[in-house]
Amino acid sequence: MLDRTQRFRRAGATAAIAIAVATLASCGDSTGPKNKQNALRPAGKYSRQILHLTEPFFWIAVLVGLGVIGGTFFVALRFREKPGEERAVKQVHGNTILEISWTIIPALILLVMAVPTIATIFSLAKKPTGPNVVHVTVTARQWWWQFHYDDPGNGVETANELHIPVGAPVSLTLQGPPACSPAPCYTNGVLHSFWVPELNGKKDVVPGRKQFLKLEADRPGTYLGQCAEYCGLSHADMRLRVIVQTPADYEAWVKSQLATKTSEAALQTGVNNATYQCASCHSFKSGTAGAAAPNLAHLADRMAFAGDKYLLNYDNLWHWVYDAPGRKPMGKLVQHMPAFSQAGMSQAEAQKIACFLLTNTATNPNPPSECAGK
Amino acid sequence: MAQAVVTAGSSELAPDGHADHSHDTNTGVSNPKLAIWLFLSSEALFFGAFISTYFLYRGRDAQFLKGPTPDKLLNIPFTSVTSFVLLMSSLTMVLALAAIQRGDHRRLRIWLLATALFGATFIGGQLYEFTEFYRQGLHLGTNMFGTTFFVLTGLHGAHVTVGIVWLLLVWSRSMQGRLPSEKSEAVEIAGLYWHFVDIVWIFIFTAIYLIPTH
Amino acid sequence: MTTVEDPPAVVQAERRIRILERPKATTGKFSWVTTVDHKKIAIMYATLALGFFVVGGIEALFIRLQLAQPDGTILSAARYNEFFTMHGTTMVFLLGMPIAAAFGNFLVPLMIGARDVAFPRLNMLGFWVFALGGVFLYSSFALGGAPDGGWFGYAPLTSTPLAAGYLPGRGTDFWTVGIIMLGIGSVATAVNFLVTILNMRAPGMTMMRMPVFVWMMLVVAFLTLFAMPPVTAALIMVFMDRNFHTNFFNAAAGGDPLMYQNLFWIFGHPEVYILILPGMGIVSEILPVFSRKPLFGYSIVVFSGIAIGFLGWGVWAHHMFTSGLGPVAVSAFGLSTMLIAVPTGVKIFNWLATVWGGAVRLRTPMLFALGFIAQFTVGGLSGVMHSIVPSDTQQTDTYFVVAHFHYVLFGGLVFAVFGGFYYWWPKVFGTMLNERMGKLNFWLMVIGFNLTFFPMHFLGFEGQPRRTYTYPSGMGWDTMNLLATIGAFIIATSVAVFIVNVIFTARRGERVSHDPWDGRTLEWSIPSPPPEYNFAVVPIVTGIDDYWHRKYTEDDEGRLVKLPAGGAVDEAEHEPAGFDPHSIHMPSPSYWPLIFAIALPVMGYGFVFKNWFLLAAGVVVAFFGLNGWAIEPSAEPEPSGTEAH
């Protein structure tokens, strides 16, 4: 009897240590300093609300889980039959009191869980009001995000990068691309899901519907997000970032985005629109949406491009202009950034266009050395 | 699939390993009959899904794609007549079963043919209706009504067609003398399917033709 | 008028010229093609399902290789999307459902004391539809692109016509047609199980005396029967939208993509229980045998299984918590999801109580069953976390969900399946799988499985979405992804050990008696492998675990007492005096179900390639098959013609 108890203790301790190590290893590794896409590190009140709701239930789950796993080890080892032993086992067929209690107790725990859950559901569904609410329409495209600011005096149009002021609630309207035409036609985009874990949970973008999601950040910084509903070939490359700024910085940014740095005509000339028809998809005018692609009037003010896949720098940009499908899978999508390399564009021309954009679409241009003389 | 199950079914296994007699089963219902009931319950959900879809998409064409709408297209008197013919076929089906159960094989064949003929009349009406709608500009992709109407009624029509083929098979078995009175269950099972298809039509007819869109 | 036409004798009609002479052989290689024996069909189901398990597993290994490091380049985005779609589709439709059909086919008739299933040829059809449907799905790799829309194929990504290029290839057409085809087979099998269980129990085998596994198969069959139609409807709509200009999910025409999600998950959630309940049944059979105690709270375990089956219909929208249903609907589905945790928990507690106080033999089947309990619990608990709707908005579509359902379906179902293999192997083949390799198999699988999937909980919390072919470095995901990849290869090693064990056992496995585990249920009362007719004499059942009570009784304090040997126990070895196996009239083999099954992929290719000739040919073949089937009797009359009826 004694040795069996000991054996159990040893096994139990080993199991406990193993689980603890595994858990700690997983947690410890996790939050590298660069990760800005972590639901466990909320940076705003909605995501914090969610985490606070999750935490107690997470630990209850861990407790129950460890209880059952421990119980499994216990019954297996404690009642193990030694070789050659023939135990006259007591035949127990059931126990009503036990059955009732392990039905009722979990039900009660769940009932307790339900109350804050439902309260939080309704709280998160409530649209923010007040003078400082920022309204943005988010259009999910294959495979990038289009943002249009809807408040009076703020008609900023941008892509993949959402600037918001710290401490202000942001009300997002999520939608698919405009309905195709002429009818009958069937290309209205696909499902996507807008997700910036450190600011809130996710919400799907459904063609034909307008969905609501709110964000609020309580400290400045950059928070990463990503499309979370499978949307085809480049689903993994449909990323975004939210840049949270102090109100003053935010105001300055809005002003810079509304200003016309370089005229639409000059921009179109600079990118050789006559040959490459860039303006048939892109827009070069502040505050207006392109037909199928991001507004480029302030491109160089952004940190990244191509669905936040590439940091915005000279090398990435000219390669993109030269051969976009080689840099991000486009498959057989009918409308996408073409491979201009196959339309007669030389590398030198791509580099020239990249330099032109870096110089002329930045509020404070700082063209790289490669661009000197281009 | 169900067809083969049931027409072949009357000699399937019972627990004792011998050919089936209904009193040998635990439920008292013979295996093939239980199987067809279960299969039809599955089918009911299949049509349920399409009928629900029809209801949920009803009346959306005003906002979206225009094109012919039900109030312009539906010829209710005409379809009422073909629906009545289909319902009458359930009656002849009952008569067919009654005939074989009392050993009247000549009547069985007559009523089977009558049932199939009524079904074919209904299908003929449906084909006429489809072509008429098509002529008036309603295609599968014209609007939500075109989409839901053609697919729902088309699938029902396909079921009726299967039923007609099934009845004709039963009829030909009887003609070959392979359908003695002891095997009347083969007729009963074909009948259950047939009644089911009729009942589904009552729901579809009500949904599409009788409940006004506005 | 009472004219009575006597039909000509049936026998006469049978003599007409046949295009296909009925197959007669019940032994030899070719007999497997035409067999209607539920045990042979079960073996074919299991073999093929395991084959698909390996194929789906290889796809998983490629997925893990691609994700082992950031910016992986082993697979292209297109190939990756095909692989994760086919991995999911394979594991659900070509492993999960057929492996349940394998166990159900072998065991249900044996456990209820029947000589075969109710419709042997329908059973055969179910298998061949599965086999050919699987081949049809996989042929897409060679014929214009494999499915790449995810295993739940959300519209409008899948429903938008090919010309838009949302998905590069024909894959979705193969996928919709293939799943509809497999659904036909599943419904046929479900009807068969239902009729068998409801109608063909041995005398005295009342519903509340049936083994829990049989109960779970009954619930599964009902779920399959009612879950397949909505998804069939949804898939027809997708196919019509893609190919015939309908607008079911076209937002520009007033169609609603959420309609697809509703229809799919009305199938999809019951489907989860279709997959897991057979596993629960297997575990409920293994635990009592290796604890030498009856199942604790038999009726409660049965009723909680039924409750799960019912509640499973009311939780589908918990897959759609982020799709904008509104707070009221979301709250309601959150509550129903919490509710379904209760019967699930009850089962787990009853299993533990079964082992409690028993004489526990930690043989390989028992290890897998215990592994099931522990790991399924983890999956269940992460499932409850999804019912906390706001938490779910962070977890859904991330690796947390991937971890969750793999704990349920791999840690749960696959472990139960392997436990079932080790447990029933001696019954199926009369040989015992090697115990040492079995334990190695188990422990490698435990380590590999947990190493692969446990870190994924945290990957999900830390923001890694599922279904992404790549991820950038610097997200803090690198280590855990590498661990997961290592774990995946340990799982593969574990499966390889099992295959080696099977080969080893086939070559020189230890032959064992008909009842090597000291079993409780009727299948252990007959020889191993069982004869074609299963029971020489149909048993008369007097209680739960009838066979056990022929061997043991309880003393006044409820302790186990062995009955003296002899009597009923030995009936397996000694068939009753004067017993002639030929006196049992078993159903004859047939070609027709196979012909009908072949017609389905022919029609399928017709639909996919819009080749109306092929479609018409398929219809003709199907009609030919059905007609032959309808005319052919289930069992050929005895040559001597001695049948009384």
Nearest to B4 among C194, C584, C626 (CB): C626
Q: How far is B34 from chain C (nearest CA, A)?
A: 6
For residue A183, the chain B residues in CB contact (below 8 A) are 64-65
Q: Report yes or no for ipTM above 0.90.
A: yes
Asked whether C365 and C420 are in contact (CB, 8 A), the reply is yes
The DSSP 8-state label assigned to residue B207 in this structure reads I
pLDDT in tens, A286-295: 999 999 999 9
| Residue C12: predicted pLDDT | 40
Instruction: Report the DSSP beta bridge partners of residue A240.
Output: A225
For residue A89, the chain C residues in CB contact (below 8 A) are 291-293, 357-359, 559-560
Strands (E), A216-254: 221-226, 239-245
Q: Which residue of A has its CA nearest to C243?
A: A186
Q: Which residue of B has its CA nearest to A179?
A: B64
C533 touches chain B (CB under 8 A): yes
| Residue A17: predicted pLDDT | 55
B144 touches chain C (CB under 8 A): yes
Q: Which residue of B has its CA nearest to A181?
A: B65
More confident residue, B62 or C292: C292
Nearest to C225 among B41, B48, B141 (CB): B41
Contact check, Cβ <8 Å, C391/A32: no
Contact check, Cβ <8 Å, B13/C200: yes
Q: Report residue B72's pLDDT band, with 50, 70 and 90 as the boundaries.
A: confident
Those chains having 3 or more beta-carbon pairs within 8 angstroms of chain C are A, B
pLDDT in tens, A306-338: 999 999 999 999 999 999 999 999 999 988 999
Q: Report residue B13's pLDDT band, with 50, 70 and 90 as the boundaries.
A: very low
Q: Which amino acid is at B75?
A: N
| Residue B10: predicted pLDDT | 36
Q: Report residue A20's pLDDT band, with 50, 70 and 90 as the boundaries.
A: low
Chain A interface, best mutation among B64, B139, B140, B144, by max A CB count within 10 A: B64
**Beta strand C510-511 with C431-432: parallel, antiparallel or unpaired?**
antiparallel
In sequence order, which ranges of C113-256 are alpha helices (DSSP H)? Answer: 120-139, 171-199, 212-244
Q: How far is B171 from chain C (nearest CA, A)?
A: 13
pLDDT at C10 over 70: no
| Residue C428: predicted pLDDT | 96
pLDDT at C30 over 90: no
What's the mean pLDDT when you consider all of chain A? Answer: 90
Q: Which residues, other chains included, contact B12 with Cβ-Cβ below 8 Å and sequence gap of 6+?
A: B19, B20, B31, B32, C118, C119, C120, C587, C634
Contact check, Cβ <8 Å, C391/A53: yes
Contact check, Cβ <8 Å, A102/C298: no
Q: Report residue B212's pLDDT band, with 50, 70 and 90 as the boundaries.
A: confident
| SS3 per residue for C407-459 | HHHHHHHHHHHHHHHHHHHHHHHCEECCHHHHHHHHHHHHHHHHHHHHHHHHH
Contact check, Cβ <8 Å, C257/A76: no
Q: Is the pTM of this model over 0.90?
A: yes
| Residue A3: predicted pLDDT | 53
Contact check, Cβ <8 Å, C352/A72: yes
CA-wise closest residue to C376 among C459, C309, C432, C450: C450
Ranges A340-349, B6-15, C321-330, C440-449: which has the least confidence: B6-15
pLDDT in tens, C407-458: 999 999 999 999 999 999 999 999 999 999 999 999 999 999 999 999 999 9
Ranges B75-79, C42-46, C235-239, C575-579: which has the least confidence: C575-579
C349 touches chain B (CB under 8 A): no
Q: Report residue A19's pLDDT band, with 50, 70 and 90 as the boundaries.
A: low
Ranges A132-141, A195-204, B60-69: which has the least confidence: B60-69
Q: What is the mean pLDDT of the segment spanning C265-290?
A: 97
Contact check, Cβ <8 Å, C233/B53: yes
Q: Which residues, other chains included, contact C85 with Cβ-Cβ below 8 Å and sequence gap of 6+?
A: C146, C147, C148, C149, C150, C151, C171, C175
pLDDT in tens, C583-625: 788 888 999 999 999 999 999 999 999 999 999 999 999 999 9
Q: What is the mean pLDDT of the segment spanning B11-18?
A: 40
What's the mean pLDDT when you consider all of chain C? Answer: 92
Strands (E), B50-196: none
C226 touches chain A (CB under 8 A): no
Q: What is the mean pLDDT of the segment spanning C313-337?
A: 95
C329 touches chain A (CB under 8 A): no
C613 touches chain B (CB under 8 A): no
Contact check, Cβ <8 Å, C157/A230: yes
For residue A184, the chain B residues in CB contact (below 8 A) are 65, 141-143
Contact check, Cβ <8 Å, C263/B49: yes
A184 touches chain B (CB under 8 A): yes
CA-wise closest residue to C257 among C238, C276, C274, C242: C238
B vs C, Cβ pairs < 8 A, gives: 215
A183 touches chain B (CB under 8 A): yes
For residue A90, the chain C residues in CB contact (below 8 A) are 293, 357, 557-560
Contact check, Cβ <8 Å, C324/A211: yes
pLDDT at B213 over 90: no
Q: Which residues of C, range 548-577, sit inside 8 Å of A by Cβ?
A: 554-555, 557-561
B98 touches chain C (CB under 8 A): no
Q: Report residue A84's pLDDT band, with 50, 70 and 90 as the boundaries.
A: confident
Q: Which residue of B has its CA nearest to A185?
A: B141
pLDDT in tens, C177-213: 999 999 999 999 999 999 999 999 999 999 999 999 9
What's the mean pLDDT when you consider all of chain B? Answer: 88
| SS3 per residue for C286-341 | HHHHHHCCCCCCHHHHHHHHHHHHHHHHHCHHHHCCCCCCCHHHHHHHHHHHHHHH
A vs C, Cβ pairs < 8 A, gives: 350
Contact check, Cβ <8 Å, C257/A125: no
Contact check, Cβ <8 Å, A183/C154: no
Ranges A340-349, B110-119, C505-514: which has the least confidence: C505-514
Nearest to A114 among C247, C335, C392 (CB): C335
Nearest to B144 among C198, C240, C254 (CB): C254
Contact check, Cβ <8 Å, C113/B34: no
Nearest to C475 among A37, A103, A204 (CB): A37
Contact check, Cβ <8 Å, A121/C346: no
Give the whole-number percent of chain C exceeding pLDDT 70: 93
Q: Please report, to the nearest 10 degrees, the dihedral formed by the alpha carbons of residues C218, C221, C226, C227 taken in order.
A: 120
pLDDT at A31 over 50: no
Cα B203 to chain center, whole Å? Answer: 12
- Return the biggest CA–CA distance within chain B: 63
Which of helix, strand or coil describes residue A224? strand
Q: Report residue A30's pLDDT band, with 50, 70 and 90 as the boundaries.
A: very low
Q: How far is C498 from chain B (nearest CA, A)?
A: 36
Q: Which residue of C has its CA nearest to B36?
A: C191
Asked whether C281 and C335 are in contact (CB, 8 A), the reply is no
Chain B interface, best mutation among C108, C200, C239, by max B CB count within 10 A: C200
Q: Which residue of A has its CA nearest to C299?
A: A94
**Beta strand A211-215 with A134-141: parallel, antiparallel or unpaired?**
unpaired
Q: How far is A187 from chain B (nearest CA, A)?
A: 14
| Residue B20: predicted pLDDT | 41
Q: What is the mean pLDDT of the segment spanning C459-483?
A: 94
| Residue A21: predicted pLDDT | 53
| Structure token digits, residue C204 | 């005295």
pLDDT at A16 over 90: no
Q: Which residues of B, range 185-214, sit inside 8 Å of C by Cβ?
A: none
| Residue B6: predicted pLDDT | 36
B9 touches chain C (CB under 8 A): yes
Q: Report residue A181's pLDDT band, with 50, 70 and 90 as the boundaries.
A: confident
C398 touches chain A (CB under 8 A): yes
Contact check, Cβ <8 Å, C10/B180: yes
Contact check, Cβ <8 Å, C237/B141: no
pLDDT at C236 over 50: yes
Q: How far is C294 from chain B (nearest CA, A)?
A: 26
C5 touches chain B (CB under 8 A): yes
User: Distance between CA atoms of A239 and A307, rounded to whole angstroms?
Assistant: 5
